[in-house]
Chain A
Amino acid sequence: MFQTIMFISLVLLSLSIVVGLYRAIKGPSTPDRVMALDTIGINMIAGVAILSIVMNTYAFLEVILLIGILAFIGTIAFSKFIERGVVIERKRDE
């Protein structure tokens, strides 16, 4: 029973990744794509968490943390890129 629920949720998460991917590729504007990527990242966190429950291991908890950080940094970087055109700004006095 538990296994089945886990399995169904995994499949659902994967499907939502597919849907997010559709938006990431299709998505008319860049912000759409960035948001889709962020969604995919969050879904991946959930997927990894459920996988580690299924596999009964603690080994992937760092992966969850890492995806969280990366998704955040990535989204911020993209947003800055869209907003200002650059990711890392140069200092004024140079």
Chain B
Amino acid sequence: MKLAYWMYAGPAHIGTLRIASSFRNVHAIMHAPLGDDYFNVMRSMLERERQFTPVTTSVVDRHVLARGSQEKVVDNIVRKDSEEHPDLIVLTPTCTSSILQEDLENFVERAKLDAQCEVLLADVNHYRVNELQAGDRTLHQIVSHYLTKAAKTGTLRTTKTAQPSVNILGITTLGFHHHHDCTELKRLMSDLGIHVNLVIPEGASVDQLETLPQAWFNLVPYREIGPLTAQYLQQTYAMPYVDIAPMGVMETARCIRAIAEILHQLDPQISATCFDDFIQTQTRHVSQAAWFSRSIDCQNLTGKKAVVFGDSTHAAALTKILSREMGIHVVWAGTYCAYDAEWFTAQVSGYCDRVLITEDHGQIGDAIAQTEPAAIFGTQMERHVGKRLGIPCGVIAAPVHIQNFPLGYRPFVGYEGTNQICDLIYNSFTLGMEDHLLEIFGGHDTKTAMHKGITADSDLHWQSDAQSLLQQVPGFVRGKVKRNTEKFARDRQISTITLEVFYAAKEAVGA
């Protein structure tokens, strides 16, 4: 047992559901107790999704405990098949149902007999993998299932496209800025003259998966979800892949050069340096990041202390940007992807003093307090630690809140991504500086004057019990409630505000 009240990565089934609900016309059925369908709320809330989330529950209740699921799971699969006509139903175990050790594989086989759609059982162990690992596995599972099937039926398309083309792997629902990143990657590919063959899983239909091998190569922008699929495609169909996240000026250039190298190997007529001019133009004129790092704004940041924490992809990328592109002193960089510690350490070594790998938010909080950085780059948890310690924080990775699903265009990848990241970093530091100056010069000089004007002393006597009740009213409406109550009392020539007067005023004006 472990004492905890915050976790960075969710349970395994969340990863599976993220993959399933990213595909078009794929439905997931969770074998879970009532209340475990919280995923639907998150998707509907955070992504402001207009469609019903294609996830339902085959409810595990007392009867299931006593007698087993019997026909229930099969019936639910068949029912969903006839209601929604999905292409694929993914049966998703949860941590509760996995202890029941029911033969879900058998349910899937039986459901296949009656359902028109394909049925798969998500193959993840809830006590061994987390959300991200499960997502990676489920994507691989679905892709290999459809490719194997297409190979058998002879519909597999292995002929390469005439022009260079790419599959983008790992864009998912509830991913950190994934939608914006996807748009930016497509734009980047189009600028390079590379046709985007397929983006998976976001927005793809499972029927399209058989066209995956016709792309020249695969691009895996994120370390967490996609690599297993890319490795599988490389082993089975000899497709090369690029797994460099194009985040920051240097890494974007490295990613593009790796793509050029691959194109050169596949078609010797394409030069391995074909994109160098493009990189130069973009770096000098489209991205402002290179110029920013020369500007005196950035000079002011030189040697300032920062700490970085997040998933592997974003924490590694940000560490490199801060240290290499802006001259900021990264005291420590860390990730909660403990299963991928080796990769992360290799990526950031040389760019920070210390590497911190943990899933314990308490340890991160302590490390921030001891370091006292000028700015934090982390998840929502680090933002709150920052709030408590009075240190500004830029959010760079999941877990995130609704404000990290912005309506405006905010990619983290590609050349527009470099601009966004510069703004994020610069705004975090200057805000901290502004606060600091305010403190030195004694704050906004209008503060006290304004305060006086709003809470003019009252001639009314508040009885202490009414007063203490007023204190229980949330701070942001307390002033209004107080004014309304006093107005109510004055109108009725009441000189002492008692509990009764307080409630009567509320009833009268709806204060």
Answer yes or no: do A and B interact.
no
B interface residues (Cβ-Cβ under 8 A, vs A): none
A interface residues (Cβ-Cβ under 8 A, vs B): none
